[in-house]
Structure 1
């Protein structure tokens, strides 16, 4: 026989095919016989079709063989036999096995419990509706809560609501959520009142699936081992292949007894043996999808919609439904069902069990419609019951629970009928609640516990609501009224003496002695005028020292009680500390340390003297606040003082205080009480929870209501005490709790941090939220904000976050408590990774998440812009160089023109002065020549005049040439030039003459153009020459006056002067005055000459020196010179 091809017959290799290949109890099927007949004839199987029918279902098998007349004959014969087989085979099938429902139920009972604290979600967090009937968790850690108006995704802080939007085809198809499911690929499936939806995490949109034209509502979803989704509806059972979207319907077939009994499908699931069960309106049915057969029935006619089974890790097969007791157990071996009945449940209290889960530690939790939350006890087959307690705000919100789910952290979520969901941690919390006591209604309607004490027998005594309360080790409560008339007694402090008697301090009732065994009391009340009696009816603290002496802190001094004589002695200081003492402790030196409203007080029992320690705002080493609620002496001798503003430690050796506040890690600044555990750690109650402190390091761990406290404000009358076996009790406004430090486990590090929201310019970034490998692209000027969550649902408010930007930062930035959003207004350009870590109060930094960010630079920092700038800079340098060269050329040309103009001016001056002078000399010489023959004396006199004129002409010509040749004078100011000219002229004076010259300037000299300066210099030089050579003056003075826009020059001497003239023009022919007048005219200046015989001469020039005017004159002079 040749081997079969590998792909010969998939149907025969399937579980259903293998089931068909096994012999039945009575006979083998005709189909099997035919297949063996084919094999025995050694047919070569490749591909052909043989139809095997088993009770109406056609099974297709592909066979191929060698074609021959003989093979064709046998093929036809086999086909005829197979077609004839169904009727005979149906007649041979046995009926579907049916389980027996036993009439005798399993009797169990409910055990009331109150050791769990429930956290309530609220609509204020964004929840779309109160009733949540579906809860699941996705692979990222988000919790999905299905309500009657959308589905809510929760990150531990806020909800994001998904609901139908008629304008968005990618939104949820409906609003009423009937079912939710997460498949093995992590896809979230949601059955709405319209269609079946699948959430696409990459886009944040929903994909819709239409099952058939009737669009049935999907009530429940499960997945089989092949990956098919099974959808329970009231119109049949549907199988969906997620990859292709193909749908197949299964339902009741009329006239067929071995199929589904009804189209009313409640739920589906696969048990541990691989059997696929369908919960219908008629019961549970073991269904074979390949054959369409029901192999076993459990007849339980259920009218409620909620009907399912649950098989736990121990193999118990639970059946639950939403009516009556709603709970039964199925025995596979005996094929029997027994319902469970609760002996202590009133009729109507149980309205069915909706769902069951098994936690990681093997606990079974059930939710019921009326009996609250149940936990199964395997040891005695009882159920712990958690219900709403009106006296306990941390109890279950209500008794009608419709959904339950356990998340990956171990928290359990419950959906309620008429209240928002509740969340709790099934593991024991660090603190166990002592008060409020479940079911007890305080007569004052409050939870405030003023005092707490554990006695030597383990009874817990509390001062609550005007009475003395005792909770014994068995958890039984008893109330004692200490007042004979039943009036309220406000208890502030308690202590147990060696005889077991309780000494109780009160407000307004003084001191009470209470015998727990007999219930007898003795009251000590203040009596006016009695000195050996209690000094006040307000006793805030009763303290038993090492000598077993009772001390009382009252509001009227310190009292000492002699219990043998029952007499008191009062100690008072001479200051205000006589009033309102709060607490007492003692040290090893036989001193009492007392807390009061006015600071810390030390009382020496030996000397009976007081010493005060008060707050000094100017001294940080003093106590931080005068209201000292509690004084506690640690084992190392340090005093720890609880004040209304900070925890203080006092070192008696240094007599200095050090204070700790919230900024140092303390839970709250209003400190109530302090205790020390066996390891030396301090436990401090505050207005914001309880802190555990390591005195050696100063590190704090804080505990809140999420850790078992009845509330966060544990302030009040410094109520705390140490009990047996290391237990410690803390009490305050919300109640009381006990903690055993040795049983507190360190919290597990958080798994991860996920970025829940990314916004650029306050606009949310579309899906997907990227990971560290894909960077967010933002511009340098864009605002970038991120939010994140560590998905710690047990106490999200206590999660701490820190972040850094790698690689530019190595230090972490610690965020304030409860802050989980970072807003970056600006970021440096480049590619960075934002790293965020999270930690709980009692766990180290662990969970982390990272996000890549790429910040694009501004356009002026991009490579192309920098390259463009470089090119433009090179071009600009070249252009600037050429411009500079052109400027130099222009300046050179201007200087050339200026020099040319100067040469022209010199030529004119030479023409006007030297040449004319020589021309005049020539004329005079001709006149001398004519006079010599006849008048020699007169000719001689004329010749002397000619010689003088010749000297003047020579000097004038030299001066004109010198002005052209001297480059230093081109940059000198007018004062310097005039001073130099005066010095030169003084050396040329005739023999025997010596004039003193003085130059003065008043005001700030304006910046004069060269042309204007030179003209002014020539005017001054001409006036000075006349003074030096012709006036015979002893003193010559030149005064420059600068007054903003005006300038005045005065050249004066005390020489012989000239005869007065009626008009300035009359001087025009004398001593170069014509040149002065011409140059002044070129400057638009006014010149006046005053001279008188014997009184000297004064030449005055006035002109406008505004910048615009000087520039205009300069341009005119240049033009004149060029011409």
Structure 2
């Protein structure tokens, strides 16, 4: 009482001084010496630890981390049954009905149809291998959840309170029912229901259990029966019950049974009492119980009216522990080994943990020091007392003053620094010594006890003193330091922010690191492990091998910020820093110190349990091994022990479920979903069913046609998409549990967005066809216009030729003919021997020739005005140009059609030039003219078997001084045709002329 009252008084006094103390320390840092500032901040740290202690962790069950969901978290009340389906979901039977739980969200599952006879209270749930869930109600019978629907199961003649549903390994189903008329056990096997042979009891059925060997057990108020292989006759086992019992099997097939009186082992037809259990039933000996055996061989016993007992399956009652704050009436172990407890106030999860919180009173003020004696204990100081923790119960040293530090030495020596003297505890005896600097009434900041038992204390602003023969001797050869550590051989490692790191020995001070060389901020940890010294600070960790300092910065390794403790065990290095406890491989840490910046795989321990370091401390040694090799850490939750053997990673890939697809205010479920036209936005929810730490499950997802690769969603459990077009999409999601084990198969969902009619393929095709038809019509119209223009030009040309022919005939030829007649008359008047007569007659003869030639030209102009037979025209030209022994031939394909005269004339001119070239230059023996009357084009080809075109003509397109080929191309361009001049197949020359049919044909 005295210690507690003193602690409360000190906290009350210090609360009012913290605010002022901050101002004083700031002023000291600015205007006074560094020694004064350090002294001030050390005092303020102790005051703040008392005034504002960190929240301590509460561990309801040692070795397990507990999470509780209450009504405030939407958990259902009065949970009486728990099961898990193969897809990983947890199913809860409660007084409000059936609920599904994914580790984060509770979803109520309602029956398809309302039944006024059905109670909301679910007494029992059972998961089948096919993923369905069987549900038993207090009244209203049985329902089955499958395919997203909860529907009633018709069991013939079933009435009353369904107390238990069991599913056998071969698909058989047992349903236990209790009502006023007695007990019935229904069995479904081979497609039909039957009633199990009566066991002779008329008492209500309290429990039903199917053992691994196939034995069915039924428990009543005052009797217990077993049915070997699930069939009668029933074998009675003498026992008495007060309320609903619970069964569980342990190692080797041991059967355990619990009720409001005791935990018992069932051996054959006998009962062996183990422990009394009335303390977890609240003294009423009533209510429902939960029972299971975990992987550690611990039996869990839960009582409806409060409390949880755990006891070793192999052991005695002394090994049990009681957690009175756990209120549970049913227990369940999931696929990952987590223990779930359901009760009146919600749901509890117990996750196997390596963290054990030592239940010592108060808040930690000091680091940890380990005993150098055979007891192997560790020592810490709190705001209540100093404690030694060993194999048994923590021992209080009964120190009545504020504790500033603890040191241990040989022969079970414990040295405790306080604000009112130094306490020495050895072999259970305790005495009080005056402070090292008693006159100044200053508490020491740190102390050291070396292997020879020499004791040093460092006092901020005053110096270092050694305890010798009952007196304190100030070490004047050493400078003032506030933080010291044993360097062996009578030497000390000393640190002060202003002066850096030094080695102190008989010769004095040897500077190791100047302040500017310390890149980790203020040093708060100096630990000697093996061949290395480790210095921990606010911004990282330094290692010193006696010659060289290596630094790992918290900027590169954030988990090293505020390193307060370090220890080595079994190839691993354990570090406690601001963010918690971390384990790394020693080889990884060594490699990083050699080459800073290299990767270090740091495993965080106790992160989900909120375990953090103590950042606001001046000096620290927050990680130690005790004499039994156990790991201890000073944390925000108090003194904790870590058991590495319990660090079992969850190697099970988590099942993945796509929980819903939401679009336009509606929710859809299923593997293939159809969405209405106009949908452009969707939201998909998903969950990984690793229930150990569902908040830390990680996700990746991908939508085909939208995402080029997997999208890393982190811990986010939904994906949203906008501006989606009509079509079919496939959404896939994969997930990893908190230990990084991925389910690469994941889950998929396909959904189809229906299009509006204007978004359909046929509408787009029709639109494309209309556009294409319009383009074709436009091209045809344009071609018609161009052809009509060309034809009009030809017609104009024809008309002009007719006009010229008419004018020549009516004017020039007639006038010329009249002149000839006049001259003829004149010639007749001249004598026959007159010299002029002969000349005039000769001129008249020449005039007749010119007149005949003019008439021929006029006739030609008249003849070219009508449609032309191209074969006939080319045949006439060829017969005038080609003479034996050269031969020629005309070949016609297609339906012959007449050509417009100008076109026929140009084609004839080109063909005549080709024939003439073959006769004059090619030394050909045969010529062939081909006419192809195509529906779209007219093609005329002239081929010879001569020498072919010279190389220079092919290159230049003609020969200097010769214009035949040039004229061909000009005539072709004037017609709007295409001409090709090149080699014929085999040998010779081929001239191919191609022009559109619309332009060529006159008909």
Pick aligned residue for 1:365 from 294, 300, 304: 300
Distance in 1 separating the partners of 2:485 and 2:704:
54
Aligned counterparts, 1:1054-1065, within 5 A: none
The residue aligned with 1:458 is: 376
Pick aligned residue for 1:221 from 165, 168, 186: 165
Distance in 1 separating the partners of 2:712 and 2:103:
20
The residue aligned with 1:356 is: 291
The SS at the match of 2:93 is: strand
Instruction: Compute the displacement of 1:231 (Å).
Output: 2.6
The residue aligned with 1:420 is: 346
The SS at the match of 1:874 is: helix
Distance in 1 separating the partners of 2:698 and 2:524:
30
Pick aligned residue for 2:179 from 210, 218, 234: 234
Distance in 2 separating the partners of 1:278 and 1:372:
26
Aligned 8 A contact 1:510 1:538 in 2: no
Distance in 1 separating the partners of 2:230 and 2:483:
80
Given the superposition, is the C-alpha separation of residues 489 and 288 from structure 1 closer, same or farther in structure 2, using an over 3 Å criterion?
Answer: closer
Pick aligned residue for 1:140 from 84, 87, 96: 87
The SS at the match of 2:769 is: helix
The SS at the match of 2:772 is: helix
Pick aligned residue for 1:685 from 577, 589, 598: 577
Does residue 262 of structure 1 match 2:202? yes
The residue aligned with 1:56 is: none
Aligned 8 A contact 1:780 1:855 in 2: no
The residue aligned with 2:224 is: 284
The residue aligned with 1:1055 is: none
Distance in 2 separating the partners of 1:777 and 1:588:
81
The residue aligned with 1:976 is: none
Given the superposition, is the C-alpha separation of residues 567 and 142 from structure 1 closer, same or farther in structure 2, using an over 3 Å criterion?
Answer: same
The SS at the match of 1:520 is: strand
Given the superposition, is the C-alpha separation of residues 345 and 261 from structure 1 closer, same or farther in structure 2, using an over 3 Å criterion?
Answer: closer
The SS at the match of 1:519 is: strand
Distance in 1 separating the partners of 2:680 and 2:280:
69
Distance in 2 separating the partners of 1:186 and 1:807:
32
Given the superposition, is the C-alpha separation of residues 891 and 139 from structure 1 closer, same or farther in structure 2, using an over 3 Å criterion?
Answer: same
Pick aligned residue for 1:502 from 374, 390, 414: 414
The SS at the match of 1:871 is: helix
Pick aligned residue for 2:393 from 470, 476, 487: 476
The residue aligned with 1:732 is: 635
Instruction: Compute the displacement of 1:299 (Å).
Output: 5.1
The residue aligned with 1:629 is: 524
Does residue 849 of structure 1 match 2:788? no
The residue aligned with 1:50 is: none
Distance in 2 separating the partners of 1:281 and 1:528:
77
Instruction: Compute the displacement of 1:300 (Å).
Output: 4.5
Superposed CA RMSD: 5.1
Q: Relative contact order, CA 8 A, sep 6+: which one is greater?
A: 2
Distance in 2 separating the partners of 1:171 and 1:610:
87
Aligned 8 A contact 1:753 1:838 in 2: no
The residue aligned with 1:397 is: 325
Instruction: Compute the displacement of 1:122 (Å).
Output: 1.8
Given the superposition, is the C-alpha separation of residues 338 and 478 from structure 1 closer, same or farther in structure 2, using an over 3 Å criterion?
Answer: closer
The residue aligned with 2:461 is: 556
Given the superposition, is the C-alpha separation of residues 601 and 691 from structure 1 closer, same or farther in structure 2, using an over 3 Å criterion?
Answer: same
Aligned counterparts, 1:439-454, within 5 A: 442=361, 446-448=362-364, 450-454=366-370
The residue aligned with 2:354 is: 430
Aligned 8 A contact 1:599 1:627 in 2: no
Aligned length: 712
Does residue 747 of structure 1 match 2:649? yes
Pick aligned residue for 1:788 from 687, 701, 712: 687
The residue aligned with 2:845 is: none
The residue aligned with 1:523 is: 434
Instruction: Compute the displacement of 1:731 (Å).
Output: 0.6
Pick aligned residue for 1:568 from 458, 471, 474: 474
Pick aligned residue for 1:836 from 708, 728, 734: 734
Instruction: Compute the displacement of 1:882 (Å).
Output: 6.6
Distance in 1 separating the partners of 2:485 and 2:751:
63
Aligned counterparts, 1:893-908, within 5 A: none
Stretch of structure 1 that moved more, 450-459 or 881-890: 881-890
Distance in 1 separating the partners of 2:293 and 2:456:
55
Instruction: Compute the displacement of 1:735 (Å).
Output: 0.9
Instruction: Compute the displacement of 1:189 (Å).
Output: 1.6
Given the superposition, is the C-alpha separation of residues 823 and 320 from structure 1 closer, same or farther in structure 2, using an over 3 Å criterion?
Answer: same
Instruction: Compute the displacement of 1:262 (Å).
Output: 1.3
Unmatched tracts of structure 1, length 5 or more = 1-111, 252-257, 389-395, 616-620, 893-1123
Distance in 2 separating the partners of 1:785 and 1:811:
17
Q: Deviations over 1:3-51 (max 9, x none)?
A: xxxxxxxxxxxxxxxxxxxxxxxxxxxxxxxxxxxxxxxxxxxxxxxxx
Pick aligned residue for 2:443 from 537, 541, 544: 537
Given the superposition, is the C-alpha separation of residues 265 and 706 from structure 1 closer, same or farther in structure 2, using an over 3 Å criterion?
Answer: farther
Given the superposition, is the C-alpha separation of residues 634 and 170 from structure 1 closer, same or farther in structure 2, using an over 3 Å criterion?
Answer: farther
The residue aligned with 1:1029 is: none
Aligned counterparts, 1:793-942, within 5 A: 793=692, 795-802=693-700, 815-816=713-714, 818-825=715-722, 834-841=732-739, 845=742, 849-853=746-750, 864=762, 867-868=765-766, 870-875=768-773, 877-878=775-776, 881=779
Instruction: Compute the displacement of 1:755 (Å).
Output: 2.0
Does residue 641 of structure 1 match 2:536? yes
Q: Deviations over 1:229-258 (max 9, x none)?
A: 32322244456576999765679xxxxxx8
Aligned counterparts, 1:1019-1038, within 5 A: none
Distance in 2 separating the partners of 1:658 and 1:527:
40
Instruction: Compute the displacement of 1:494 (Å).
Output: 2.4
Aligned 8 A contact 1:222 1:269 in 2: yes
The residue aligned with 2:28 is: none
Aligned 8 A contact 1:753 1:791 in 2: yes
Distance in 2 separating the partners of 1:698 and 1:642:
20
Distance in 2 separating the partners of 1:647 and 1:857:
61
Instruction: Compute the displacement of 1:877 (Å).
Output: 3.8
What TM-score do the two structures reach when normalised by structure 1?
0.54
Aligned 8 A contact 1:757 1:764 in 2: no
What TM-score do the two structures reach when normalised by structure 2?
0.60
Pick aligned residue for 2:668 from 760, 766, 773: 766
Given the superposition, is the C-alpha separation of residues 375 and 303 from structure 1 closer, same or farther in structure 2, using an over 3 Å criterion?
Answer: closer
Instruction: Compute the displacement of 1:207 (Å).
Output: 0.6
Aligned 8 A contact 1:199 1:207 in 2: yes
Instruction: Compute the displacement of 1:119 (Å).
Output: 0.6
Q: Deviations over 1:558-604 (max 9, x none)?
A: 5253545621237998xxxx89x5675869997836364x7964566
Distance in 2 separating the partners of 1:734 and 1:780:
52
Unmatched tracts of structure 2, length 5 or more = 1-58, 592-597, 791-1003
Q: Deviations over 1:1055-1074 (max 9, x none)?
A: xxxxxxxxxxxxxxxxxxxx
Instruction: Compute the displacement of 1:348 (Å).
Output: 7.4
Distance in 2 separating the partners of 1:700 and 1:153:
36
Instruction: Compute the displacement of 1:799 (Å).
Output: 4.1
Aligned 8 A contact 1:452 1:461 in 2: yes
The SS at the match of 2:162 is: coil
Distance in 2 separating the partners of 1:787 and 1:210:
34
Instruction: Compute the displacement of 1:459 (Å).
Output: 1.5
Given the superposition, is the C-alpha separation of residues 648 and 371 from structure 1 closer, same or farther in structure 2, using an over 3 Å criterion?
Answer: same
Instruction: Compute the displacement of 1:730 (Å).
Output: 0.8
Q: Deviations over 1:998-1038 (max 9, x none)?
A: xxxxxxxxxxxxxxxxxxxxxxxxxxxxxxxxxxxxxxxxx
